Copies of this chain bind each other. A is one copy, B any other.
Amino acid sequence: MRNKNDFAPRAPMGWNSYDYYDTTVNEAQVRANADYLAAYLKDAGYEYVVIDIEWYANDAGKRRQEYQYIPFGHNEIDAYGRYQPSPERFPSSAGGKGFGPLAEYVHSLGLKFGIHIMRGIPRQAAHDRLPVQGTEYTCDQVADAWSICGWNPDNYGVRDTAVGQAYYDSVIRMYADWGVDFIKCDDICDTWMYPDGHRITFSGWHETRMLHRAIMRCGRDIVLSLSPGPAHVDRAWEYAAQANMWRITDDFWDNWELLKPMFWRCETWADRVERGCYPDCDMLPFGKLGAGFGEERDTQFSKDEMRTVMSLWAMFGSPLMIGAELTKLDDWTLQLLTKREITGLLDGAHHGKQLRRDEEEAVWINYGENGREVTVALFNLSESQREISVELAAGADILSEELQWLSGADGFTDVWEGGRTEAVEGCLSATVPAHGVKVYQTVMK
Which A residues contact B (CB, under 8 angstroms)? 1, 3, 71-72, 123-124, 126-129, 140, 143-146, 148, 150-151, 153, 192-195, 198-200, 213, 216, 233-234, 236-237, 241, 267-268, 270-271, 394, 397-398, 400-401, 404
Whether B268 pairs with A394 at a CB distance below 8 angstroms is no
A398 contacts across to B, CB distance below 8 A: 241
Q: Write the nearest CB–CB distance from A2 to chain B, whole angstroms.
A: 9
State whether B394 touches A72 (Cβ < 8 A).
no
CA distance A38 to B58 in the complex (A): 59
Q: Can you list 22 A-B pairs, Cβ within 8 angstroms, ordered by A?
A: A1-B394, A71-B140, A71-B144, A71-B145, A71-B146, A72-B126, A72-B127, A72-B129, A72-B145, A123-B145, A124-B127, A146-B153, A148-B200, A150-B198, A151-B199, A193-B198, A216-B397, A236-B271, A237-B267, A237-B268, A237-B270, A241-B398
Which B residues are in CB contact (< 8 Å) with A241? 398
Q: How many copies does the complex hold?
A: 4
How far is the CB of A168 from the nearest CB of chain B, in Å?
14
Chain B residues positioned under 8 Å from A213 (CB to CB): 397
Extra A-B contacts (11), CB below 8 Å, given A71-B143, A123-B145, A237-B270: A1-B400, A1-B401, A71-B140, A71-B145, A72-B127, A127-B127, A150-B200, A194-B198, A233-B233, A237-B271, A241-B398
Question: Cα distance A268–B240 when bound, in Å?
Answer: 12
Given the known interface contacts A193-B200, A200-B148, A216-B397, the answer about A143 and B72 at a Cβ–Cβ threshold of 8 Å is yes
Q: How far is the CB of A143 from chain B (nearest CB, A)?
A: 7
| Cβ-defined partner of A199 (8 Å) among B143, B193, B216, B397 | B193
CA distance A225 to B241 in the complex (A): 30
Q: Establish whether residues A150 and B199, one from each chain, have CB atoms under 8 Å apart when the complex forms.
A: yes
Q: Chain B nearest CB: distance from A316 CB in Å?
A: 13
Q: How far is the CB of A188 from chain B (nearest CB, A)?
A: 15
Q: Whole-angstrom distance from the CB of A308 to the nearest CB of chain B?
A: 22
- The residue of chain B having its C-beta at the shortest distance from the C-beta of A394 within the complex is B1
Q: Which of B72, B195, B404 is A198 in contact with, Cβ under 8 Å?
A: B195
Q: How far is the CA of A199 from the CA of B194 in the complex (A)?
A: 9
Give the docked Cα–Cα distance between A234 and B234 (Å). 7
Distance in angstroms between the alpha carbons of A398 and B144 in the assembled complex = 26
Measured between C-beta atoms, what is the minimum distance from A151 to chain B in Å? 5
Q: How far is the CA of A267 from the CA of B148 in the complex (A)?
A: 29
CA distance A237 to B150 in the complex (A): 30
- In the assembled complex, which residues on chain B have CB atoms less than 8 Å from the CB atom of A198? 150, 192-195
Given contacts A1-B400, A1-B404, A400-B1, contact A146 B145 (CB under 8 A): no
- In the assembly, what is the distance between CA of A72 and CA of B193, in Å? 24
Nearest CB of chain B from residue A274's CB, rounded to whole Å? 10
**In whole angstroms, what is the CA distance A126 to B394 when docked?**
36
- How far apart are the CA atoms of A234 and B230 in the complex, in Å? 12
Question: Closest residue to A398 on the B side, CB-wise?
Answer: B241
Q: Return the chain B residue nearest A159 by Cβ.
A: B71
Q: Are B148 and A153 in contact (CB under 8 A)?
A: no
- B140→A72 contact, CB < 8 A: yes
Give Cα A200–Cα B404 distance, bound, in whole angstroms: 40
